[in-house]
Amino acid sequence: MSQGGDRELIGGQALYNALKAGSVWLQSHVAEVNALNVFPVPDGDTGTNMSLTLRAALDEVGSPQGLSVSEVGRRISHGALMGARGNSGVILSQILRGFARALDDKQAVTEQDVALGLTAASETAYKGVMKPVEGTILTVMREAAEAAQGAISVGGDVCAVLTAALSEAKASLLRTPELLPVLKEAGVVDAGGQGLVRVLEGILSYVRGDAVVADAEAKPAVETGHGHADAAEEEYGFDVQFIIHSPAKSVDLLREDLSVMGDSLLVVGDEQAVKVHIHSEHPGPILEYGIQQGTLSTIILENMQVQYREFVGTDHSDEGASGQIDVRYPVDRIRASLSGASPLADVSVVAVASGPGLAQVFSSLGAEAVVAGGQTMNPSTQDLVSAIESVANDSVLILPNNGNIILTAQQASEITSRQVRVVPTRTMPQGIAALLGFNYQAGLEENYEAMLESSQQVETLEVTQAVRSVQVNGLAVDEGQFIGLLNDDLRAAGDTPLAVVKALLGEMDMDEYEIISVYYGSGVTQEEASSLCEALGDVYPNLEYELLDGGQPHYHYIISAE
């Protein structure tokens, strides 16, 4: 930032750096923001979405050197538009767009322009919806902009303007539960607002000259009394749940007390009954505390490490006659983290996956149990029954994710005494799409319908090698050639995986799709997969590509188009 004369001028480089600082700071608090999400908002990953949107905006700038502040603003605006993810991402993109417009055609701007920019950001954001809802990021943005204007009127510089904006943003955030009943009920502040506060904090740090370091031990800017929602750390310790009847203290006070006793704290309820969920290495004091507060019931106490080990399994007793060993991939059983499958859901999901990367995807999307598919994707009926019986709920949905396993899943559902519905997914992308359609507040039947529908929205492409020469669907395939299947139907053959994928995509109406997710298998390196994606990007530049290490055996690539 050049300090010329009486006024500080902010040029393109400075604007870029400031937003970059905001982005880094937000990124290190993604889990915290995600944890604040409250149903029934469809946007479940506010933190992730806002972070990705902001990063896309910054990526669009490229190299900020020598660019005017308005040019940087324009690029950020465009990048955010194209890269907006989720509802919160779209709102953020509007905020950035509004701010950018206020920069006019200027080379560099003053603190007044910054304040005007914040106001424009707020106004543009509000214009994007017919009935703006107060108690959301909109309110926080508006009140922050008002404070910024206030700082200008008393002659503040950029630092003062941003300090005032941030301070008011935090205060506004704290008031959001008063404006939006669902927030108050869940005892949280608005997720989008929290994300915005983090961005402003990062920006202010940069302006003040402090280094912005990704803070691994991120504490919430606003003490709402709940701990980390970092599921990866929670393989150890105990999962403690109970209900306190006629509690002596209010929900808020209980939450405050419990917040120092463990992680992934969830406290919901009213004067009659409060449900508590927490992870801790020392359940004793927590239970004692609960007993002091009222009558306890429905106590659940589970050793997460035992669960984890059991699942990782030294159990090889189900080696088939063919001598295949079913290796269970180490998968985090995500027990009630605030952003994942919640103990308050009445239905559990069991998914079958081949490949540790894919297993991780299912797990992180909320599948309570993931069964390994093995070399030829065939878990036994007993494997599935065990998985069904291992989950928390009596109502279970199974995602077989392979045509051969659907029948096995049906058999398993008949053997167990639990209520089971099999969603007939034939491929893993279908399973993932189905899982994305899962609704934590709905029951078994509703979820079955919803997941069935979601599973049908995605096209699956699979690439593997032919083990023998064959003629099928009018195609002559030689042994060793690469073959491509579109939704389980063999439709293409070629000498390279790329040729096969291109052929398959050529058969589809690519205007209908936006996102291509590529899961590369265990026989493929990241470089190979990466260059495949790049080559596809050349042919279809308007699509978004996601590259993931699926680690699946047998199929070089499993690709979903949605």
Distance CA 327, CA 314 (A): 9
The verdict on 40 binding other proteins (CB under 8 A) reads yes
Buried b (16+ CB within 10 A) or exposed e, 430-452: bbbbbbbbbebebebeebbebbb
Tokens of 510: 């690519």
Residue 43 or 368: the one with the smaller Cβ distance to other proteins is 43
Out of 81, 174, 182, 296, the only residue in the binding site for other proteins (CB under 8 A) is: 81
The verdict on 154 binding other proteins (CB under 8 A) reads no
- Binding segment toward other proteins, per CB under 8 A, in 80-88, 238-246, 330-338, 527-535: 80-88
Residue type at 482 in one-letter notation: F
Distance CA 135, CA 131 (A): 13
Distance CA 324, CA 553 (A): 14
Closest CA to 189 of 143, 222, 166: 222
Distance CA 438, CA 405 (A): 21
Distance CA 477, CA 483 (A): 8
Least distance to other proteins from the beta carbon of 244, Å?
28
Least distance to other proteins from the beta carbon of 129, Å?
5
Convert residues 363-392 into a mask of x (bound to other proteins by CB under 8 A) and - (unbound). Answer: ------------------------------
Tokens of 405: 């396993």
Greatest Cα pair distance in the chain: 84
For residue 224, the Cα-to-chain-centroid distance in whole angstroms is 21
Site size toward other proteins (CB under 8 A) is: 28
The verdict on 176 binding other proteins (CB under 8 A) reads no
Out of 59, 62, 107, 127, the only residue in the binding site for other proteins (CB under 8 A) is: 127
- Binding segment toward other proteins, per CB under 8 A, in 27-35, 39-47, 314-322, 520-528: 39-47
DSSP letter at 327?
Answer: P
- Binding segment toward other proteins, per CB under 8 A, in 77-85, 329-337, 360-368, 475-483: 77-85
Residues 207 to 226 in contact with other proteins, rule: CB under 8 A: none
Tokens of 276: 């508590």
The verdict on 541 binding other proteins (CB under 8 A) reads no
Helix runs in 102-179, H state only = 111-127, 137-153, 158-179
Residue 37 or 360: the one with the smaller Cβ distance to other proteins is 37
The verdict on 512 binding other proteins (CB under 8 A) reads no
Distance CA 51, CA 92 (A): 10
Residue 129 or 306: the one with the smaller Cβ distance to other proteins is 129
Out of 130, 216, 260, 467, the only residue in the binding site for other proteins (CB under 8 A) is: 130
Least distance to other proteins from the beta carbon of 366, Å?
16
Out of 55, 97, 426, 556, the only residue in the binding site for other proteins (CB under 8 A) is: 97
- The alpha carbons of the chain give a radius of gyration, in whole angstroms, of 26
Least distance to other proteins from the beta carbon of 26, Å?
19
First to last CA, the chain: 44
Tokens of 415: 């053997």
The verdict on 89 binding other proteins (CB under 8 A) reads yes
The verdict on 87 binding other proteins (CB under 8 A) reads yes
DSSP letter at 384?
Answer: H
Residue 40 or 541: the one with the smaller Cβ distance to other proteins is 40
The verdict on 429 binding other proteins (CB under 8 A) reads no
Residue 102 or 532: the one with the smaller Cβ distance to other proteins is 102
Residues 42 to 61 in contact with other proteins, rule: CB under 8 A: 42-43
Out of 449, 456, 470, 548, the only residue in the binding site for other proteins (CB under 8 A) is: 449
Torsion over CA: 148, 150, 153, 155 (sign):
negative
Q: Name the residue with tokens 């994928």.
A: 501
The verdict on 309 binding other proteins (CB under 8 A) reads no
Residue 86 or 373: the one with the smaller Cβ distance to other proteins is 86
Torsion over CA: 158, 160, 165, 166 (sign):
positive
Interface ranges with other proteins (CB under 8 A):
40, 42-43, 77, 81-82, 84-87, 89-91, 93-94, 97, 101, 124, 127-133, 446, 449, 514
